[in-house]
Amino acid sequence: MKIVRIEPIIDAGAFSHSHEWREIEGHIVQAIKSVEWPPGSGSFTLYDEPGKKRGRGSGVKPIKEACMHKLKFLGWQLETPVDIATVRRPGPMDATRPVGDRLFCVEWETGNVSSSHRAINKMALGILKKILIGGALIVPTREMYKYLTDRIGNFPEIEPYFPLWRALHIDEGLLVVIAIEHDAVSQDVPRIKKGTDGRALK
């Protein structure tokens, strides 16, 4: 799997120039690039079905689980409850790593574009409240999107809203959106099933 773009939408203070961020970024890049399909192939190839019917794309959660498994191996905590002091506590962060008395979190999009907005809002609020030092949302490109579960949140759909998050007054923190893409498509690989154990993808 390849990374097409890492786009900062909040970059305040010195964190983005720190050793901690360089190490975190290295872990995230390593985890994303470790995801492969079929297993053992050394690359990430999605099934391309001519005339694909709606809802017939490859599953998304198994891809995420493979990346999260790699982050766990690198020492990250998965499914971390984080209280960002809202009226209703949001769901746990997909993966977190402590940075001093704060956390850096990673969220991998498996829902629709509304879910992408919620994920960015959750991380931005955590940075604003000084609970998070930063966060990364991983989303597919438009090119990858068409081979996945229908209506999955993707980079082009959230990009028009970046100016909104950039307008926040933040003293210190980094929030990035990472656009990922497959290496190739083929009719000779199996479709990733929606219920597949993600560890099978590593």
DSSP string, 56-97: -SBPSHHHHHHHHHHHHHTTPEEEE------SSPPPPEEEEE
Please report, for the chain, the start and end positions of each structural domain, with discontinuous segments joined by +: 2-201
- Sort 126 into a burial class: Cβ within 10 Å, 0-12 / 13-18 / 19+: buried
Which pLDDT belongs to residue 10? Answer: 97
CATH number of 2-201: 3.40.91.20
**Residue 172 is among the residues annotated as catalytic for this protein:** no
Which pLDDT belongs to residue 164? Answer: 95
Which one is catalytic: 65, 107, 109, 157?
Answer: 109
Nearest Cα neighbor of 55 from 117, 157, 186, 146 is 146
Nearest Cα neighbor of 133 from 178, 163, 170, 164 is 170
Contact status, residue 47 vs residue 191, Cβ threshold 8 Å: yes
Which pLDDT belongs to residue 195? Answer: 57
Which pLDDT belongs to residue 89? Answer: 62
Which pLDDT belongs to residue 84? Answer: 80
- Would you write out the chain's pLDDT as a tens digit for each of its 202 residues? 999 999 999 999 999 999 999 999 999 999 999 999 998 899 999 998 776 554 457 888 888 999 999 999 999 999 998 888 665 666 789 999 999 999 999 999 888 889 999 999 999 999 999 999 999 999 999 999 888 877 788 999 999 999 999 999 999 999 999 999 999 999 999 988 875 444 456 5
Which pLDDT belongs to residue 111? Answer: 83
Which pLDDT belongs to residue 55? Answer: 47
